[in-house]
Amino acid sequence: MWMVGGFAGKVLRVDLSRGETYVDGLNFSLVKSLIGCLGVASKIMLEEVDPDVDPLSPKNKLIYATGSLTGSTAPAANKSIVVSRSPLTGIWGESVFSANTGIELKRAGYDMLIVDGRAEKPVYLWISDGYVEIKDAGGFWGMDTFSACESIKRDLGEKRAAVVCIGPAGERFVRFASIISDNGRAAGRCGLGAVMGSKNLKAIAVKGSRNIEVANPDLLNEIRMEIIEITKESMKAFSDYGTSRGVVAFEEMGNLPVKNWTRGRFPGAEKISGIRMAETILAGRKACFACHIACGRYVKLSEGPYAPLEGYGPEYETVAALGSLCMNDNLEAIAKANDLCNRFGIDTISTGATIAFAMECYERGIISKEDTGGIELRWGDPEAIIRLIELIGRKEGFGAILSEGSMRAAEKIGRNAERYAMHVKGLEIPMHSPYRFKEMGLQYAVSERGACHLRGLSMLPARGILLPDLGFNRKLDGFTIEGKAHLVKVMQDVCRVVDSLGACKFVYLFGGVPLRRLADLYSAVTGWETELKDLLRAGERIWMLQRIFNVRMGVRRRDDTLPKRFLEEPMGDGAARGHVVELEPMLREYYAERGLDEEGRPRREKILEMGLDFATKYIDW
C-alpha cells in the first residue's frame, strides 16, 4: 500500500445494525487535496447522509476522525474530530477534542472510524490493533461518563486503553449531549453524544501498539523544539491560570457575556476568574497529549456545600456560561456544575445558555414555578443552576423541555420566548461578545455548525494577537465592521486547517507561532512539500464542502443571522454600551468573498474553481 507519514492508511467501518465491521483503504489523493480526514469526512457526509436522514435515526453516520498530525509528537497535535448530522441544529455537526482515543485509534491502524446503524441493545466498541469487537454495554448503561470509562477499562482488563463515552444524557437523546473522554475532555457541541445514544453506542475503547511513522523525524523535532521555545513563555499565563484567566480582562473590554447577553458589566468577574481559581480550588494542571502548556485544570473542594469534589475543572467557556451569563459568581458552584455536566455528558456552553434563557423567561413572567416544577429561577442562584443541570441530564420535569436546547424549548414555551433564546441555527452562542467584536457576530452567523467561536476565532487580531502570515499584522478595531468579511473568511479557513491537522488552536494561533511553521510541520510529518497557502486553500475547500452539506440540509440566507437581541437591542453597559451588530453589510461582503449567491448557496463556478468537481452533483440550484 502507498503509505504517507502521519497516517495509518485505513478506515474502519462499523455497521451496528448488522453487527459487522469492514476496513477500507484511505484515499490518499483525496487526503492530499483536503489535507486530512476532516475533509474526507466532509465528502463522506455529503455522499452518504441525505437531507431526509433524521439525525437520531440509524441512517445517520457518526464519524470519529483523527487529525493529520495527531499522535505524531508535533506539539499539542492531539485532536479527535467527531462528525455527524447534528440533532441540535439539523446541519453539519462537528466537535473537536483532545481525547487520547484518537491517538490510540491511529496506533491501532485506523485514521477514521465510521459508525452506521443502531445496535439492538447497548454496546461499546473495542478496537485493539487489528481486532474489533462490538461488546455488550448493558452493565454500563446509565452510568456517568467517568465511571463508565473506568468500568469499561476494568471490564477489558486494559488500563492503557483510551475510552470515550456518553453519559445518561446521551442515552436519553438530550440534544446537546456531549461525548467525554477518560482524560477529561469534551466533544461538547452539536449534541453528538445523542447520536451515539441513538445508536445504542455507550463508548468507544481503543488501544494500539504501532508507531506512527513520520516522513522526516529530524525536521519534525527541530520545528517542535522551536514551537515549544516560542510558546512556553507566550502561553505561560495559560499554564498558570488556565483559559479562564480571561474573565476579568474580557469583562473590562466588554467581551464577557452577562445576564443572557443583556449586560456587559459583572461585579463578580474577579470571583470566578482563573486567577481566583489558582488561589483557591486549583489542585493541579492537566496537559493533553504532547502539550507543554497544560491549560487544563484539576480542582478539589474539601469543604463547603459542593464538597467533596475532585476532578477536571472548568475552562473559560464553562466559567462564563455557568457563571456570568447566569449572574452566578460562586466559583465552587461553577466547579460543581461543570463536574455534573461532564458526568451527565452535556455541553457546558449550551447548558449555561439554555439555563440563562430559562432564567430570563422566569424573570419576565413567561414561565413560573408551575412550569419549572417549583424551582425559583432567580438570576445567580447556584442551587437553581445545579438543580436544572440534574433535570436536563436525566431529562426529567422542566429539564425535559430544556434538554431540547434553547431554540426548541422556546418553541414549546411559546409566549414570545424565542426572543430570549440566544442561538444561531439552534447552537447556543458561545462566550465572546459580538457587541464587542463585530467580526464574531458575522462568524456566529455563518459558521459551519451554528454559533461557534472556534471555527474562526476572528477576534484575535482585535485583541492584539497578530497573525502576520495571514496578512493580519496590525491590531484591528473590534467595534467596526470594515474588512471584517475578509477577516472572518481567512480565519475560518485557517481554523479548518488547524482542526484538520489535529492541532491545538491555543498553541498555534495564540502563542506567536509563525503559521508557515504549521505547513513545515505538515510537510515533515507527511513528506508532502506543502506551503501555508496550500493548507489555506485546502481549508477553504473543507469549508465549502461543509457549506454545500448545510445548503442541502436547507440552510439559506435567512438562517445566516443572529438573535434579534444582537441586531436590535443596544448593549446596556460596559465597554460595548450602545452597540448593536451591523450584520447585513458584513454578510453581503462575506457572501462575495466566499463565492456564494444571494441566498448563501455556493456558486457552481466557485466549486469548480476550487477543484471540487465531485461536489457539483450535490447541488441542485
Of 6 and 246, nearer to other proteins (C-beta) is 246
- Told to check if 315 binds other proteins by CB under 8 A, we report yes
Of 231 and 561, nearer to other proteins (C-beta) is 231
Of 251 and 448, nearer to other proteins (C-beta) is 251
- Told to check if 294 binds other proteins by CB under 8 A, we report no
- Answer whether 435's CB lies under 8 Å from 579's CB: yes
> Residues 6, 274, 382, 602: which binds other proteins (CB under 8 A)?
274
> Residues 111, 116, 144, 317: which binds other proteins (CB under 8 A)?
317
Query: How far is residue 169's CA from residue 404's CA, in Å, rounded to a whole number?
Result: 11
Least gap, CB of 189 to other proteins (angstroms): 15
- Told to check if 266 binds other proteins by CB under 8 A, we report no
- Told to check if 237 binds other proteins by CB under 8 A, we report yes
Q: Name the strand (E) or helix (H) holding 389.
A: helix 382-394
- Told to check if 243 binds other proteins by CB under 8 A, we report yes
Of 231 and 372, nearer to other proteins (C-beta) is 231
- Told to check if 482 binds other proteins by CB under 8 A, we report no
- Answer whether 35's CB lies under 8 Å from 26's CB: no
Residue tagged 496550500 (cell numbers): 534
User: Which residue, 273, 154, 268, 262, is CA-closest to 203?
Assistant: 154
Stretch that binds other proteins, among 2-10, 57-65, 159-167, 244-252 (CB under 8 A): 244-252
Residues 165, 169, 175, CA angle at the centre, nearest 5°? Answer: 105
User: Which residue, 397, 391, 427, 446, is CA-closest to 590?
Assistant: 446
Query: How far is residue 323's CA from residue 353's CA, in Å, rounded to a whole number?
Result: 10
Measuring CA to CA, how many Å separate 543 from each of 101, 204, 232, 457?
25, 28, 31, 15
- Told to check if 241 binds other proteins by CB under 8 A, we report yes
- Told to check if 134 binds other proteins by CB under 8 A, we report no
Query: How far is residue 4's CA from residue 20's CA, in Å, rounded to a whole number?
Result: 28
| Number of chain positions touching other proteins (CB under 8 A) | 38
User: Which residue, 17, 99, 91, is CA-closest to 65?
Assistant: 99
User: Which residue, 482, 477, 393, 492, is CA-closest to 444?
Assistant: 492
Of 438 and 547, nearer to other proteins (C-beta) is 438
> Residues 477, 584, 599, 609: which binds other proteins (CB under 8 A)?
477
Least gap, CB of 281 to other proteins (angstroms): 18
Cis peptide before 308 (omega within 30 of 0): yes
203: helix, strand or coil = strand
3-state SS record for 443-497: HHHHCECECCCCCCCCCCHHHCCCEHHHCECCCCCCCCCCCHHHHHHHHHHHHHH
Stretch that binds other proteins, among 23-31, 43-51, 309-317, 483-491 (CB under 8 A): 309-317
- Told to check if 298 binds other proteins by CB under 8 A, we report no
User: Which residue, 496, 488, 494, is CA-closest to 439?
Assistant: 488
Grid cell locating 600: 448563501
> Residues 39, 55, 208, 254: which binds other proteins (CB under 8 A)?
254
Query: How far is residue 176's CA from residue 194's CA, in Å, rounded to a whole number?
Result: 7
Beta carbons within 8 Å of 321's beta carbon, 6+ residues apart: 348, 349, 351, 352, 353, 356, 430, 431
Give me the amino acid identity at 530: T
- In the window 399-438, what residues touch other proteins (CB under 8 A)? 436
Residue tagged 455548525 (cell numbers): 449
> Residues 150, 213, 252, 597: which binds other proteins (CB under 8 A)?
252
What does the per-residue mask of binding to other proteins show for 573-592, with x meaning CB under 8 A?
-xxx----------------
- Told to check if 170 binds other proteins by CB under 8 A, we report no
> Residues 84, 101, 178, 244: which binds other proteins (CB under 8 A)?
244
- Told to check if 60 binds other proteins by CB under 8 A, we report no
What does the per-residue mask of binding to other proteins show for 517-556, with x meaning CB under 8 A?
----------------------------------------
> Residues 45, 103, 156, 295: which binds other proteins (CB under 8 A)?
295
User: Where does this chain bind other proteins (CB under 8 A)?
Assistant: 234-235, 237-238, 240-250, 252-254, 270, 274-275, 295, 315-317, 436, 463-465, 475, 477, 479, 506, 510-511, 574-576
